[in-house]
Amino acid sequence: MPYQIIVCGGLAPDPLQTLEPVFDPARPSLKNELMLPAVFDPWAAHALYEAGHLARQHPGSVVRVVSLAPKAKLQQVMMTVAQKLPLELVALDGPGGGFTDAAAVAAALADAIAAMPDLDRSRLLLFGGWESATRGAGAVMQRVAERLGITEQFLAVDELSVEADGSLLVKERIEGGRHQISRCSSPPVMLAWATGNLPEPPNHPQTGMANMRVIMPALQKAKPVALEPAAEFLRTALPSVIRQTRVVKDVPAAEIAREIAEWIRQ
Amino acid sequence: MEKTLVLLHTVDGQVPQAGLETLGLAKSLGGEFDLAVLGAGAASAAQQISGGAAGVLAVEGDAFAVSRYATDAAACEALIRASGAPLILAPDTMRFHRALPGVAERLSAAIDTHVVSLNSEGAVERWYYRQRIEASLRRAQRPWILLVEPGSQPAAAPQPGAAPEILSVSCDTRTKIEGFSTPLAGEQTIRPDAPLLFVAGAGWTKKQKDGAVHVEEAANLILDFVRRTQCSLGSSKSLVDLSGEGQAVLPFLTHLHQVGQTGSSPRHKKGLATCCHGEEPHVVGWRFIQERRAINLDPNCGWVRGKADVVYVADAFEVMRELLKLI
Ligand SMILES: Cc1cc2nc3c(=O)[nH]c(=O)nc-3n(C[C@H](O)[C@H](O)[C@H](O)COP(=O)(O)OP(=O)(O)OC[C@H]3O[C@@H](n4cnc5c(N)ncnc54)[C@H](O)[C@@H]3O)c2cc1C
């Protein structure tokens, strides 16, 4: 049976970039925010790879990406993402970044999904990352799902398999380095992914070209979204913790071991 | 200070450390608070710690013994409504982190997660951009749910008090919990409550002085140390990626162990890094490790540049062999 898979994913500054906050109490941001190269949010990217994998296993399935981000940046990032797997894009043109409000973002995403004309909710798998690499709230996907009336929800998922009877077997991370295994009898469900088990798919230029034919018009149609600030920021800052490092050199291993053993016992 | 609800869940019939820490934070604010507990044995667990609470509530029963979104969300919604407190403090465990954002949506509430402090003026602190930027914020919206980061607060000493009022909650769900698995083949090596984090880097799998790799000995040294000290085990990204590519390198290290920018940011009092270089994307995951030591052959490794308190320029194989004789 085919699925309708919707992947919610925003953008994040490329993790190798140096980040510096600019403090404006009304709208805190990053220095040169619009200049920083961006990537598709890493956890949402895992969700997307899992979506592509599942869609291949269930012919007739569609993967749709819903993304709220500054349109120009989204276009750049989609040039890369589109090479990976067949997808459709629903773009919302609005502010990205960590200091936007999770609730407002969730409302915008849920509205965009609810407005999809041909959505069969009985086949809906709502995917996203369990947290973003920007706000790191881990709250957006649950709020989107609630707004769509989906109350079967999973967080920090590493594995999803479809059983012979159509039920969904889900492995979620829990405390203690373990997974909880749940069985949900049927869609609709929301899965907020951790890393999953799949590597990044290699680039496939033909897929990229086919995708861009639908992605470009979607970007042109991107609905503008204004996100009103909901919180009052009092301070944003870089942590400043440089330690006085003691370097221990040319000391026999046994002596180092004694020092470490004592430190562990303290 | 406005009234708070301290919302907790049980683990094996007891309120876990993370819950006592949240209770500790609520008590430190000095205002009136209610206490609510959810899960197996919730009523008796609540009574063991309800000293000082204005109202005490619980939800228990088979459906709520397990951690699952639909049932947990229904129970938390009922408990929050019954208390009516405008400010809700709950521990940021996986169980509550899964359930409470959706509950916030139902209650038209605000929610902030990974909260590391709250002061009596109602300002919270949390981190943004994968622990790279810290921020302090306030909200006018109520109810406001705050998920408090485990390890960030001193725990309250349990004080017995009144028995709870038990709410009856019903909820339909299509989800059944079937069990648990550990990717570590029975080896439970991540312990949030452990005082020490041991991190293994890619160096363990690289060619050593004699020109050969010694992965088997590395595995034995690491696992032996972890078992004896009951510490948490972490790793760097390159090691995780190597094992992800199916190579026979320390296969017990998975993505669950990765510490860093694209991994976790554990909170332990002490951390010992071995055979990892101390590169920035890895070290951001050490943000909340208070005392840090590293063993590395390279005297110019990243740790030396103010990222660790002590760096031992030494062969980790030799040091660990000696260390295992002492512990
Ligand atoms: C976008 C992005 C995100 C990333 N996110 C993360 C992340 O979340 N977490 C993470 O860890 N990394 C992350 N990285 C990768 C990170 O930058 C490093 O590449 C990685 O952490 C390096 O791993 P390492 O220090 O274990 O290995 P290496 O850099 O290979 O270092 C091995 C070290 O072992 C030492 N060594 C070898 N043998 C011995 C011995 N016998 N005794 C003592 N020392 C020895 C060597 O001197 C060397 O310093 C990320 C990278 C990118 C690009």
State if residue B260 touches ligand 1 by the CB under 6 angstroms criterion: yes
What residues in A contact B308, CB-CB < 8 Å? 243, 245
Q: Do B101 and A184 touch (CB under 8 A)?
A: no
State if residue B304 touches ligand 1 by the CB under 6 angstroms criterion: no
How many of the other CB atoms lie within 10 Å of CB of A119? 16
> Taking all residues of chain B, what is their mean pLDDT, rounded to a whole number?
93
Name the token pair of B29. 């604010």
Which of A173, A234, A260 shows the shortest C-beta gap to B272? A260
Indicate the pLDDT class of residue B173, thresholds 50, 70 and 90: very high
**Can you give the pTM of this predicted structure?**
0.90
Contact B219, B250 (CB under 8 A): yes
**Secondary structure (DSSP) of A215-228:** HHHHHHTPEE----
What residues in B contact A135, CB-CB < 8 Å? 128
CA of B202, closest atom in ligand 1: 26
Shortest alpha-carbon distance between residue B248 and chain A (Å): 17
What residues in B contact A152, CB-CB < 8 Å? 69-70, 173-175
Q: What percent of chain B has pLDDT over 70?
A: 95
Indicate the pLDDT class of residue B183, thresholds 50, 70 and 90: low
How many of the other CB atoms lie within 10 Å of CB of B40? 17
Indicate the pLDDT class of residue B190, thresholds 50, 70 and 90: low
Indicate the pLDDT class of residue B188, thresholds 50, 70 and 90: low
For residue B286, the CA-to-ligand 1 centroid distance in Å is 13
pLDDT digits (tens, 9 = 90+) for B259-306: 998 888 888 999 999 999 999 889 989 998 999 999 999 999 999 999
- Is-cis flag, bond preceding B143, omega within 30? yes
Q: Give CA separation, A239 vs B131, B152, B310, in Å.
A: 9, 16, 20
Name the token pair of A78. 């989609």
Give the sign of the dihedral formed by CA B276, CA B282, CA B283, CA B287. negative
pLDDT digits (tens, 9 = 90+) for B16-69: 999 999 999 999 999 999 999 999 999 999 999 999 999 999 999 999 999 999
Shortest alpha-carbon distance between residue A185 and chain B (Å): 6
Alpha helices in chain B (DSSP H): 17-29, 42-49, 62-65, 69-83, 94-106, 215-229, 237-244, 280-283, 316-326
State if residue B317 touches ligand 1 by the CB under 6 angstroms criterion: yes
Check residue B243 and give its pLDDT.
Answer: 61
What residues in B contact A42, CB-CB < 8 Å? 262
Indicate the pLDDT class of residue B90, thresholds 50, 70 and 90: very high
pLDDT digits (tens, 9 = 90+) for B114-132: 999 999 899 999 999 988 9
Spell out, as residue ranges, where chain A has pLDDT lower than 70.
Answer: none
Check residue B240 and give its pLDDT.
Answer: 77
Amino acid symbol at A193:
W
Within chain A, what is the greatest distance between any pair of CA atoms? Answer: 71
For residue B205, the CA-to-ligand 1 centroid distance in Å is 11
Contact B97, B113 (CB under 8 A): yes
Interface of A with B in 3-22 (CB under 8 A): 13, 15-16, 19, 21
Judge whether residue B185 has pLDDT over 50. no
Amino acid symbol at B49:
I
Ranges A240-249, B45-54, B76-85, B160-169: which has the least confidence: A240-249
CA of B239, closest atom in ligand 1: 26
Check residue B247 and give its pLDDT.
Answer: 59
For residue B106, the CA-to-ligand 1 centroid distance in Å is 44
Distance of alpha carbon A116 from the chain centroid = 21
State if residue B203 touches ligand 1 by the CB under 6 angstroms criterion: yes
Name the token pair of B274. 């071995």
Q: Do B101 and A183 touch (CB under 8 A)?
A: no
Q: Do A15 and B180 touch (CB under 8 A)?
A: no
Q: Give CA separation, B71 vs B43, B77, B165, in Å.
A: 17, 10, 19
Check residue B91 and give its pLDDT.
Answer: 98
User: CA angle at residue B235 from B233 to B238, to 5 degrees?
Assistant: 165
- What is the C-alpha to C-alpha distance for residues A110 and A105, in angstroms, rounded to an integer? 9
Check residue B236 and give its pLDDT.
Answer: 93
Residue B63: left if φ>0, alpha if ψ -120 to 50, beta else—which one? alpha
CA-based nearest residue in chain B for residue A231: B139
Pocket test for ligand 1, best of B213, B214, B275, B280 (most atoms within 8 A of CB): B275
Protein residue whose Cα sits closest to atom 51 of ligand 1: B281
Looking at the DSSP bridge assignments, the partners of residue B124 are B118, B137
CA of A14, closest atom in ligand 1: 1
Pocket test for ligand 1, best of B221, B282, B301, B313 (most atoms within 8 A of CB): B282
Q: Do A233 and B303 touch (CB under 8 A)?
A: no
Size of interface A-B (CB pairs under 8 A): 259
Amino acid symbol at A18:
T
The pLDDT of B194-212, averaged and rounded, is 93
